[in-house]
């Protein structure tokens, strides 16, 4: 049984051993630039953890782990273009450092490279693994389209937003775990519990990301605070404020989120003032806790020894800042 730290080391070492520079360099340099930045690398670690949980060989699963991280980073290249984000992990985004056309084509290449790594998998059930990966990739794209739709959709319901983040964020964490489980031996029921664990933890993770965008520290968050407000992203925080605010507060919020301004400092300050007045941070933390608890419940229902689940328990607690 591996510790999460050991799996992280396996993933990091695997990426250190890769060479993504080919010709033409303008296509591959952005790929190397992106993948060399590291990041949390949650998805490949979760894939290996899912493999190890059910007695699989992590050496057989490592190429899939690399593939799923490449796919994740492909989505970030394209997301940054759509969102006009200038920073990612504290560095210039690819489209900003090069240009949009290069970022699009490098991203497309990363999607193809992800499949190349999956196809290196030396197991008989590669069809099932690729099926899960493909469906996961389609879900992520669906989620991104919903996210873009919401930018111009006047009325968004909370259940629509939760569906969007489930597809855009949570399914990739859950899919990584499920793919990992296909390298081991487990029942369909246990695999479903593991997938549901990933969904709930993914929901909690995205809601925490929403929260940090408004109330986090820019140095540790890696991008400017208030970006979602500036970009008129109707996140959980906005929708909860609309739900709890009075008529005047709802009008102010809707007015701000219907416009773009050259100087966003007043806009961000005004919105955060309403969020603070309505205790939106507390409401969001409660929702994060709900999904976190549901995730752990699903993990506990998996029919393996409790000690084998400990690495995943500790990992998600660390990820979401829990001490116990």
Q: What does the alpha-carbon distance between residue 198 and residue 175 come to, in Å, rounded to a whole number?
A: 8
pLDDT on residue 167: 98
Does residue 16 register a pLDDT over 60?
A: yes
Angle between helices 306-319 and 4-16 (to 10 degrees): 70
* pLDDT, mean of residues 204-222: 88
Where is 54: in which H helix or E strand? none
pLDDT in tens, 118-129: 999 888 899 999
pLDDT of amino acid 324: 52
Mean pLDDT of 235-261: 95
Percent of the chain with pLDDT over 70: 98
Residue 223: pLDDT band (50, 70, 90) is low
Mean pLDDT across the chain, nearest whole number? 94
321 pLDDT more than 90: no
The C-alpha atoms of residue 20 and residue 25 are separated, in whole angstroms, by 10
CATH number assigned to the domain with residue range 4-319, chosen from the 4 options 1.10.10.10, 3.90.400.10, 1.10.1740.10, 1.10.600.10: 1.10.600.10
pLDDT at 159 over 90: yes
158: number of Cβ within 10 Å: 13
Burial code (b: 16+ CB inside 10 Å, e: under 16) for 92-101 equals ebbbbebeee
Say how many Å lie between the first and final Cα of the chain, rounded: 22
Q: Where are the domains of the chain?
A: 4-319
CB neighbours (10 Å) of residue 55? 13
* Average confidence (pLDDT) over 270-290: 98
Cβ-contact 92, 41 below 8 angstroms: no
Contact indicator for 213, 231 with CB cutoff of 8 Å: no
What's the rounded mean pLDDT across residues 140-156? 92
pLDDT category of residue 221 using cuts at 50, 70 and 90? low
- Percentages helix, strand, coil for the chain (3-state, rounded to 5) are 75, 0, 25
Under 8 Å CB-to-CB from 271, ≥6 apart: which residues?
226, 229, 238, 253, 256
Specify the pTM.
0.94
The pLDDT of residue 90 is 83
260 pLDDT tier (thresholds 50, 70, 90):
confident
Kindly tell me if the per-residue pLDDT of 24 is higher than 90: yes
């Amino acid at each position: 049984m591996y510790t999460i730290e050991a799996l992280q080391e396996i993933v990091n070492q695997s990426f250190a051993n890769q060479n993504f520079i080919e010709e033409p360099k303008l296509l591959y340099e952005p790929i190397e630039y992106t993948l060399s930045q590291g990041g949390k690398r949650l998805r490949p670690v979760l894939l290996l953890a899912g493999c190890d949980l059910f007695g699989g060989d992590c050496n057989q699963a490592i190429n899939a782990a690399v593939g799923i991280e490449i796919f994740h980073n492909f989505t970030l290249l394209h997301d940054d273009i759509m969102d006009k984000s200038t920073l990612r992990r504290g560095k210039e985004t690819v489209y900003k450092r090069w240009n949009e056309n290069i970022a699009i084509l490098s991203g497309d290449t990363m999607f193809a490279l992800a499949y190349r790594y999956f196809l290196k998998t030396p197991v008989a059930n590669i069809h099932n693994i690729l099926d899960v990966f493909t469906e996961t990739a389609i879900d992520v794209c669906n989620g991104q389209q919903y996210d873009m739709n919401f930018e111009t959709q006047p009325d968004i319901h909370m259940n629509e937003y939760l569906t969007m983040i489930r597809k855009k964020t949570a399914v990739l964490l859950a899919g990584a775990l499920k793919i990992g489980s296909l390298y081991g031996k487990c029942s369909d029921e246990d695999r479903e519990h593991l997938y549901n664990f990933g969904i709930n933890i993914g929901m909690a993770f995205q809601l925490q990301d929403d929260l940090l965008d408004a109330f986090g520290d820019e140095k540790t968050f890696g991008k400017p605070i208030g970006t979602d407000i500036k970009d008129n992203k109707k996140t959980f925080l906005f929708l909860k404020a609309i739900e709890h605010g009075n008529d005047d507060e709802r009008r102010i919020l809707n007015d701000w989120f219907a416009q773009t301004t050259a100087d966003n400092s007043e806009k961000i300050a005004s919105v955060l003032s309403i969020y603070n007045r309505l205790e939106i941070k507390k409401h969001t933390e409660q929702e994060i806790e709900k999904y976190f608890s549901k995730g752990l419940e699903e993990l506990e229902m998996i029919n393996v020894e409790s000690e084998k689940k400990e690495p995943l328990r500790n990992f998600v607690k660390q990820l979401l800042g829990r001490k116990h």
